Structure 1
Amino acid sequence: MKSVTLRRPALREELRRYLLAFLLGFGSLLVVILPIIIADGGYYIYYGDYNSQQIPFYNLANDAVRSGSFGWNWYTDLGVNFIGSYAFYLLGSPFFWLTTILPRSWVTFAMPVLLCMKHGIASLTAYAYIRRFVRSPHAAMIGGLLYAFSGFQLFNIFFNHFQDVTAFFPLLLIAMEELVNQNRRGVFALSVALLAAINYFFFTGQVVFLVLYFIVRCFSKDFHASLKKFFLVLLEAVIGVMIACVILLPSALAILANNRVSEHLFGMDMVAYSDRTRIWRILLSLFLIPDVPARPNLFSSDFGKWASIGGYLPMFSMAGVLAFLKQRDGHWAKRITVICAVCACVPILNSAFYALNGSYYARWFYMPILILALMTAYSLDNRQIDWKYGFRICFIFFAAFAAISLLPTKEDDEIHWFSFAEYPFH
């Protein structure tokens, strides 16, 4: 009885922290967008695809679900397979299904609240994952918020449904850790089913990352892997995919005939990017707040404008990460970060996160970003880690970007100084 009495206050305190992690993520975004909502009469109008796709799709899908029209949908193009066509956007998302229990007239108004909920849950799940590796709950809380409001997240408000994936992704890593280290069965299968149902496109990248994660973690003393547990992980992964087949199979029927699925990289395109600004843009996204989608400034390019390149961690940038990398040789987080960095710079390895598709996307960056947030939280939690090295490297990159911004440009035989990309306001 005494041990139970001692554990209950600790449990209540931990539950309070989980609630706080959610509320901080939810409230932080709400404070930012609430003035916009008020000014627009209750609507949240953003930009591009958010207005032209996300809002109409939520309303159309609500009408289809409420009328029981799960088969052929005549209100999209000339008619489409409803489940297969909308599985990518919202059909497997718990957030979407929440809107179906609201009055139909509330759906559009509920979307910004749901967006705040997504950030709140991302903060909560990231906190739950990072908490496993740091002693201080405050450091873990900061790490969770860094993940929830990373440059990747802010860039992809444009693509509202991406936030559904990032909100729940940490559950996959938590479930794998629980299965391997605590022998807690069934949770990994459910997590796989959830993420596979939410978005099949992102799930292909998650499979690759989970394989890398498992291999890298096997070299850590705190990861109690064995051949038996490997097959348990594999079995639960298969079960999870089978559960999600209710959405995956109609999606496969809808997309396998698409020409974009069969596009692949060949020759030099497999090992080097043809866009000379791409590596620079990846580096820029790690150290500075990302540009608005399709509106690159410093490294202007006509390619990959929608690729979701983003990695910035608010306030800390890469300072904590670089300090960790320098002073924690051999740590599993450093190994997987280096592997992901190589993958990001080599086209064929980058495309491995999307079934070797030839189109360029950086939409898997949220996974290593979670590890970067963990490394920053770890650096905050350990006073013996010296941040000076990280700050120095950040300053060097800031100075390099500033110098590049001063380079002259030439257009129509006329030299321009201090010239940045200009975009219309409409």
Structure 2
Amino acid sequence: MKATKRQYAYYTGMFMILVVALYGIFLLTGKSFIWEGDGLAQHYPILEKFYTWLHQGSLTGWSWDLGLGADKLTTFSYYVLGDPFSYLIAFFPKGRLELGYNLLILLRLYASGLAFLFFARQRSFKPASQLVGTLAYTFAGYSLYVSIRHPFFLLPMILFPLLAYGIDHVLSGKSWIPLAIFTGLALISN
């Protein structure tokens, strides 16, 4: 197996082990990742409404279901419209949205590690150091806290290493295109 593929495979295996160790308590107790504060009051209901609108093909326009009435695009641009992971909720059946919510949190967490490993691989660190650094970044206190409290705030954990990669690319005299692409991604992702 090629060294790059092997490193991503090691990361994936270690990620799964750590997810079971750190988030397994939720499964054992039959609990969801939906936090009783903002998760229950904002994040999950917004994702439910977004799911409905995705299936109705109606992401723009006015909705009387939002407060005293509000524009859908403006109201949802902060949480779900700019988050590419939120669109994946469309693939879950209506009765499994809570599972989708939980899995999308883990997918964002996994993607943050992939982004960091992508950045770390351009550095002159040893492969084992890259892997340890990636796992430390992925499962940092901020990531663990935010994944349950405000899962949409995991996006900066994905975007930061990509932007750093783009900056390093430019500073080493290479193309500015990766930086432009990742900056554009950051702009549309809030």
Q: Which residue of 2 aligns with 1:145?
A: 135
Aligned equivalent of 1:61:
50
TM-score, structure 1 normalization: 0.41
Cα-Cα RMSD? 2.2
Taking the TM superposition and a 5 Å limit, the aligned residue runs for 1:215-364 are none
* 3-state SS of 1:100 partner: helix
Residue 27 of structure 1 deviates from its aligned partner by 4.2
Distance 1:32 1:119 in 2: 12
Q: Aligned-pair distance for 1:23?
A: 4.2
What is the aligned partner in structure 1 of residue 33 from structure 2?
A: 44
Given candidates 50, 75, 91, the residue that maps to 1:101 is 91
- Contact preservation (8 Å) 2:15, 2:135: yes
TM-score, normalization: structure 2?
A: 0.86
Q: Residues of 1 paired with 2:49 and 2:184: CA distance?
A: 25
- Give distance in 2, aligned partners of 1:167 and 1:107: 23
Equivalent-residue separation in structure 1 for 2:90 and 2:113 (angstroms) = 25
Counterpart residue type for residue 11 of structure 2: A
Equivalent of 2:180, from 189, 202, 206? 189
1:39 shift after superposition: 2.8
1:157-197 alpha-carbon deviations (Å, 9 max, x no partner):
31111012312321111122224425234322221121111
CA distance 1:73–1:187, shift in 2 (3 Å): farther
Match of 2:162 among 147, 160, 171: 171
Partner in structure 2 of residue 159 of structure 1: 150
- Aligned counterpart in structure 2 of residue 13 of structure 1, from 3, 28, 38: 3
Is contact 1:25-1:119 (8 Å) kept? no
Identity of aligned residues (%): 21
Runs of 4+ residues deviating >6 angstroms: none
In the alignment, the residues of structure 2 paired with residue 76 and residue 36 of structure 1 have an alpha-carbon distance, to the nearest angstrom, of 31
- CA shift for structure 1 position 124: 1.8
Name the SS for the 2:47 alignment partner. helix
The 1:83/1:31 distance shift into structure 2, 3 A limit, reads farther
Higher relative contact order (CA 8 A, sep 6+): 2
Q: Flag the structure with larger Rg.
A: 1
Match of 1:126 among 116, 139, 144: 116
Shift of 1:44: 3.2
Cα distance per residue 1:313-371 (max 9 Å; x no partner): xxxxxxxxxxxxxxxxxxxxxxxxxxxxxxxxxxxxxxxxxxxxxxxxxxxxxxxxxxx
